[in-house]
Structures are given as C-alpha cells and as structure tokens.
Chain A
Amino acid sequence: MFRILLAEDEEHIAKLIDYKLRKEGLEVRIAKNGQEAVSALEEPVSEQPFSLLILDVMMPILDGWQVLKKLRTSMEERKDLPVLMLTAKSSEMDLAKSAELGATRFLKKPFDPAALHRVVVEMLESGAKS
C-alpha cells in the first residue's frame, strides 16, 4: 500500500483529502504544520516509507517552502521523494519558487478531490515506491 504524508494546517482540507485518498486505498498520515512534516520525514525510512508528500505552502512554524528546501538539501534518504504542492498561491513567482526548490507537481486550491486523486495516482505510478 502506498503511504502518503500530507502537510496541511487547515483541518477541514486535511480531513477531506484524507477521506478521499483512504477511500481509494491509500494510507495517509497528516502533519498539521511544517515542523510536524519535518519530524515525520526525519523518522527512519524503514518505518515511514512515504511514497509522496502533499505539501501546503502557507503553514505555521515552518512553511511549505522551508520544508521542501530541507527535504531536498538535507535529507539524503528522502531527497527524491515526489512532492505535490497544494496551495492557494499561484502567482508566477510562487510557482517559480516552488519549482526552484524542487516541487514535482502543483495543484491550486480550491481543488476537486477527484482531480487531486488523479494527480496523486499519476505521481505514484510514475516513480513512487510502494
């Protein structure tokens, strides 16, 4: 089973994504802010073999960009983890910053949960590990 780490501070968005992905047979762990996401990513890969990180940008404590930068530059075992940036931010500058830091795909809020599921499946099929 694929395991997904979801970093999202808005609990109602997190619950909706969790429900949709669980219903489709995926396992989801929710991090309520950037620091919780980093803590989950720092756990041993053998215990938390995440196949995908869904990452909100605007979060308390550490924002999504800080998490992404840490993942790509200082987490050797996780540095190639596919990252889907899920964000209300969509300006060219924000998208460019996300791409520069190593985001794999983007999805803008508000989103259709079915569209989110499609993107997640595409990303998992194109290289994530089960």
Chain B
Amino acid sequence: MIDWESDPELRALRNEFAASFPERLGAVRSFAQRLRGQGAGPHPRGGELAQELRILAHNLAGAAPTYGFQRLGEIAAEIDDRLSESEASISADQLLADALLLEKALTSCVESPASGATP
C-alpha cells in the first residue's frame, strides 16, 4: 500500500494523475457525442471505434487503481475486457453505453476526487 501523503513527490505524482481526469473526460464525451443517434445495428466502423474507446479505458484500468482510484479502475477494466472481446460488428448503442459508463465514473472523480479513491 502506498502512503501518498508522506512523500511529497508521490503526492505530486498522484495530483498530476488526478489533474488528467478533465482531459480524459473531454475525450470520452467527445467520443460519446459522435455516437449519439447512430442506432443499435452494426456500426460500419465498429471495430475501429471500439479500439479507440478501449485505449481510453485500458490506460485508466492500469493507472487509476495503481494511484488509488479503485472504483474508476474497476469500471475501466470492465469496459476494457468487454471491448477486447467485441466484434467488428459492434453497434453504436453498445459503444455509447460503455462510453457513458466511463463518463459517469470520470465525472465523479473530477467533481470529487476522493469519491473514486480508496479510503
């Protein structure tokens, strides 16, 4: 277990990671916006879009729990796992659902960083 508070440099690294949440949230929101209203049928660029969202989730799945943001990491890992097994015929609605999940988790952390952190 890392004691983030006793080492100023570690604390600064953790704060720097938390400061990356708004930019990540912006990327997820932008991704979700592009998918709205595109329906439940197979998306012609489904595989490519799934990979784009997966990279956003994958990076958080590794980094967030390492920095103590357990809940955010769990949600990101679920999305990462699901998208790693998705077919190229995945629908916009399926991708949008995962993007909204990630958006919600990130929003919680932006509004209240302690909410996603391990007590």
CB-CB under 8 A for A110 and B65, given A12-B16, A19-B9: yes
Closest to B59 in A: A10
Q: A17 to nearest B CB, angstroms?
A: 9
Interface: A99 (CB within 8 A): no
Q: Is the CB of B62 within 8 A of A88?
A: yes
- Chain B residues whose CB sits within 8 angstroms of the CB of A87 once the complex forms: 62
- Chain A residues whose CB sits within 8 angstroms of the CB of B1 once the complex forms: 112
- Chain A residues whose CB sits within 8 angstroms of the CB of B73 once the complex forms: 110
Q: Is the CB of B9 within 8 A of A111?
A: no
From A12, A13, A58, A112, B2 is in contact (CB under 8 Å) with: A112
Bound complex: CA A16 to CA B55 (Å): 20
CB-CB under 8 A for A88 and B66, given A19-B9, A112-B2: no
Q: Is the CB of B66 within 8 A of A13?
A: yes
Interface: B99 (CB within 8 A): no
Q: A66 to nearest B CB, angstroms?
A: 16
Interface: B96 (CB within 8 A): no
Q: Is the CB of A10 within 8 A of B63?
A: yes
Bound complex: CA A19 to CA B17 (Å): 14
Closest to A14 in B: B63
Interface: B58 (CB within 8 A): yes
| 19 extra interface residue pairs, beta carbon distance < 8 Å, beyond A12-B67, A109-B62, A111-B66 | A9-B59, A12-B16, A12-B63, A13-B66, A15-B13, A16-B13, A16-B66, A19-B9, A19-B10, A58-B55, A58-B58, A109-B63, A109-B66, A110-B63, A110-B64, A110-B65, A112-B2, A113-B2, A114-B2
